Amino acid sequence: MSWILFLEQLLNGLQFGLMLFLLAAGLTLVFGIMDMINLAHGSLYMIGAYLMASFAQATGSFWAALPLALAATALVGAALEVSVLRRLYERDHLAQVLATFAIILIANELVRLIWGSQPIMLNAPAGLTGPVELPGGVQYASYRLVIIGVGSAVALLLYVLVTRTRVGMLVRAGASNREMAVAMGVDIRRLFTGVFALGAALCALAGAMLGPILAVQVGMGENILILAFVVIVIGGIGSIRGALVGALLVGLVDTMGRSLLPIAFALIFRPQVASNLGPSVSSILIYVLMAAVLFLRPQGLFPARG
């Protein structure tokens, strides 16, 4: 494998990691701060992508549709929190899993009723549909560079929001000790609704940005949600920094595993064995990573609670 190809695969890993970060950031906030397992996070991602596709078709512009989709999904998220999820905070995790799993099923069928069961169209904005040439002669999809840019910007913004603002302080207070925060006079109900709406908006951003390279279809959220959970378990639940590091680790390990392992196996085993072994081993690599992290640091790499 040449150097250029190796660097391109590194870039791919970075890009896939930032893609996962967009989704994991919202999930880790909700999970860490509200101590709430929200399986329906993937449904908000799906709703965000569908709304984005609809707005993009209605307005004819990808960039005009983006803020609309974010705002609409944040509203959906806030409504969901006020009407259903708020009642689940005091329950145990099993009740939360059951209830939010029900929301997945309801959301899937609702989307099917509104948009139909066929996948719908959401394409990259004009001008970003083809590749660009990077230094070194690598042809790279321009839209993927945009994902890298947006993912990095969101990471930076969230970092500033959480560590440098008053809202961020409340969020950190809620995450590290909820009872104490309430005792100090924080309006935890409003804070939770706000955090949940922010999480939903991040979901919509993920759905909108990933829609042009992934299928926008019913059930699209479940597939990627598993990866998002792996990311936040590795990173440490509730920590934005952990989500970023976890997402990049998962992205790099998965991408490099898929590209390097088959080559490595081909050197060791017979071709027949190697072609069977390569894909099987590379597909479990991130779970091995998760198990290793859990073994060495059960709280994840950057635990939010001290």
| Binding region for other proteins (CB under 8 A) | 1-2, 5, 8-9, 12-13, 15-16, 19, 108-109, 112, 117-121, 123-124, 129-131, 139-144, 212-220, 222-224, 227, 255-256, 258-259, 262, 275, 278-280, 282-283
C-beta of 5 vs 156, nearer to other proteins? 5
- 199 vs 50: CA distance, rounded Å: 17
What token pair was written down for 1? 């494998």
The number of beta carbons lying within 10 Å of the beta carbon of residue 277 is 17
Q: Which is nearer to other proteins, 11 or 84 (CB)?
A: 11
Locus of tokens 């101590």: 35
Nearer to other proteins, 110 or 160 (CB): 110
> Please, what is the minimum distance in Å from the beta carbon of residue 8 to other proteins?
5
Token pair in block for residue 199: 């999480």
68-to-19, 44, 203 alpha-carbon distances in Å? 20, 15, 13
Minimum separation from the CB atom of position 21 to other proteins (A): 13
Query: CB 203 → other proteins: shortest distance, Å?
Result: 16
Q: Which CB sits closer to other proteins, 54 or 259?
A: 259
CB 47 → other proteins: shortest distance, Å?
15
**Nearest approach, Cβ of 126 to other proteins (angstroms)?**
11
Amino acid sitting at position 134 = L
Nearer residue to other proteins within complex by CB, 213 or 264: 213
Residues 305 and 176: their CA atoms lie apart, in Å, by: 5
Q: What stretches of 85-239 show up as alpha helix (H) in DSSP?
A: 93-115, 142-164, 166-176, 178-183, 188-210, 220-235
Q: What is the rounded (10 degree) CA torsion for 44, 46, 48, 54?
A: -150
The pair of structure tokens assigned to 42 is: 């993937």
User: What is the closest distance, in whole angstroms, from the C-beta atom of residue 306 to other proteins in the complex?
Assistant: 35
Distance CA 145, CA 18 (A): 11
Host H or E run for residue 140 = strand 139-141
Tokens of 293: 């992290």
C-beta of 167 vs 274, nearer to other proteins: 274
The residue among 109 and 187 lying less far from other proteins, judged by its C-beta, is: 109
Closest separation in Å from C-beta 101 to other proteins: 14
